[in-house]
Amino acid sequence: MTHSIDTSPVPAPESAGDAPRRYFVTSFGCQMNVYDGERMGEMLAAQGMSQAESRDEADLVILNTCHIREKAVARVYSDIGRLKREDGSKPMIAVAGCVAQAEGEEIAKRARSVDIVVGPQAYHRLPELIEQARRGETAIDTDMPAATKFGALPDRARQQRPSAFLTVQEGCDKFCTYCVVPYTRGAEISRPYADLVAEARALVEAGVKEITLLGQNVNAWTGQDDRGRAKGLEGLIEALADMAGLERIRYTTSHPNDMTDALIAAHRDIPKLMPYLHLPVQAGSDRILKAMNRSHTAASYLKLIDRIRAAKPDIAMSGDFIVGFPGETEADFQATLDIVRDTNYAQAFSFKYSPRPGTPAADMEDQIAPEIMDERLQRLQDLLNSQQHAFNMATVGKRMKVLLERTGRKPGQLVGKSPWLQSVHVTDESAKIGDLIEVEIVSAGPNSLAGEPLALVAA
């Protein structure tokens, strides 16, 4: 898809030359973008800015972008155009994240209303870039410095939710042929153990009861504890599990090659580690997996699933799938359906292959026709949806603890998460957001559960 270049004059912000006072961040894509968006907001708040209720009320709008799929890129340019207001004015506009990293100065050429372009490894320099924009310059920073951004960020702000994300690892060294992450997020880096423990402790002291550890390959995290001992992700999880007040730990996204025996054992041995694992396989055909540069086979993946379930029989499996990768035949696609049936997922995400510029797969022969991809995706999603519905139905009659996270649509209704990451609707006027309550599941639908409260569980 091509995007027209906007070369028309652009009106200055309403307060040209003045520092923006109110910001609004919109994050697209993965949970790591959500974390980055929160951290940008905290950094701007530390500079004295306040969060606007909407884009229309903001002096600075940050579009924190995702580059995984072509439509996501198109949406960014569409959103930029919509930020122009009826009176012809506009806020200061910053494009951040992976699209900013991949397209850099091209964004400023195509959309002259953009004031700031900043990559995911450079957003700690936002205050300096805002100052440049105030001087009338287009501020662009897509550097990937050796020193990570995390040391330059302010302490975590008090969270308004009982659950929080914590990025522990960034970047990827796997170089799957369809993926832009190594080019937009850089090489794999692990944040220091001490920094992560300190950030987690601050979150818990602020009222967070569930932390999800994030990384492009989160289970590749390594570090040294305060005694200099080498630790893998299981060691970090073990340290967090010792924190009083932290009730639940999750992590995503994992790579099959980094799923160690010690991490598998952690699912068996650490009660606070929730029985849910997102472990993408992407395809069921060994020929396609090789073309993707995935370093596992269908057989090795299924063997790994067996080992995980032997350690934690009630674990819920989740995955990612790409349909229509270049050269995929009907037999290859049938192999994907086979691995889905063999694994029996509780949840999964599936997408049509989307060629990303600069990746090897974009230049491969035998690109699949869109109508074939559409038809295959529908068949795959029908199977995945039926498995998810069956998993949800199997919970009816079970008792479980639910962490209440938000209000529901009905009076007195609250919505929380089960240990298996299912949304659970509960009506209990005595409970509040942040409570961990025990419920009995009384009904299930394709996407959520309904629970009857039994007792408030002391935190």
CATH classification of the domain holding 99: 3.40.50.12160
**Residue 320 Cα distances to 16, 210, 359, angstroms:** 46, 24, 19
Q: Are 62 and 180 found together in one domain? A: no
Q: Are 122 and 243 found together in one domain? A: no
- Please tell me the distance from the alpha carbon of residue 242 to that of residue 219, in angstroms, as a whole number: 20
Number of domains in the chain: 3
| pLDDT reported for residue 436 | 96
Give domain status of residue 201, yes or no.
yes
Give domain status of residue 369, yes or no.
yes
Q: Are 215 and 156 found together in one domain? A: yes
Q: Are 165 and 279 found together in one domain? A: yes
> Ranked by mean pLDDT, which of 50-64, 179-193, 258-272 comes out on top?
258-272
| pLDDT reported for residue 17 | 58
Counting Cα atoms < 13 Å in the Cβ hemisphere of 353 gives: 29
> Ranked by mean pLDDT, which of 187-196, 333-342, 406-415 comes out on top?
333-342
Beta strands per DSSP E along 261-335: 276-278, 316-323
Give domain status of residue 1, yes or no.
no
Domain final residue, candidates 104, 119, 141 = 141
pLDDT per residue as tens digits for the range 100-127: 888 888 888 888 889 999 988 888 889 8
pLDDT above 70 as % of the chain: 91
**Residue 356 Cα distances to 30, 145, 181, 361, angstroms:** 17, 24, 11, 8
Decide if 251 contacts 204 (C-beta within 8 A).
no
Give domain status of residue 8, yes or no.
no
Average pLDDT, the chain: 89
Q: Are 110 and 229 found together in one domain? A: no
Give domain status of residue 374, yes or no.
yes
User: Strand 347-352 to strand 316-323: parallel, antiparallel, or no bridges (unpaired)?
Assistant: parallel
Mean pLDDT of 71-82: 82
Annotated binding-site residue numbers for [4Fe-4S] cluster: 30, 66, 98, 172, 176, 179
Residue 433: is it exposed, middle or buried by C-beta count within 10 angstroms (0-12/13-18/19+)? Answer: middle
Give domain status of residue 115, yes or no.
yes
Q: Are 173 and 96 found together in one domain? A: no
Decide if 246 contacts 286 (C-beta within 8 A).
no
Q: Are 109 and 173 found together in one domain? A: no
| pLDDT reported for residue 151 | 67
pLDDT per residue as tens digits for the range 375-395: 999 999 999 999 999 999 999
Q: Are 121 and 187 found together in one domain? A: no
* Residue 228 burial (CB count, 10 A): 6
Angle separating helix axes 261-269 and 233-241, nearest 10 degrees:
20
Q: Are 129 and 74 found together in one domain? A: yes
**Residue 235 Cα distances to 218, 269, 458, angstroms:** 13, 12, 27
* pLDDT exceeds 50 at position 56: yes
Q: Are 239 and 293 found together in one domain? A: yes
Give domain status of residue 7, yes or no.
no
Residue numbers of the domain that contains 289: 150-394
- Please tell me the distance from the alpha carbon of residue 299 to that of residue 356, in angstroms, as a whole number: 28
Domain final residue, candidates 350, 375, 394 = 394
**Residue 23 Cα distances to 19, 30, 216, 345, angstroms:** 11, 21, 27, 40
Q: How confident is the model at residue 31 (pLDDT cuts 50, 70, 90)?
A: confident
* pLDDT exceeds 50 at position 2: no
Domain final residue, candidates 121, 141, 161 = 141
Q: Are 217 and 92 found together in one domain? A: no
Higher pLDDT pick, 23 / 137? 23
Annotated binding-site residue numbers: 30, 66, 98, 172, 176, 179
Q: Are 62 and 204 found together in one domain? A: no
pLDDT above 90 as % of the chain: 67
What are the structure tokens assigned to 179, written together?
Answer: 């993926």
* pLDDT exceeds 60 at position 348: yes
Mean pLDDT of 260-266: 98
Give domain status of residue 14, yes or no.
no
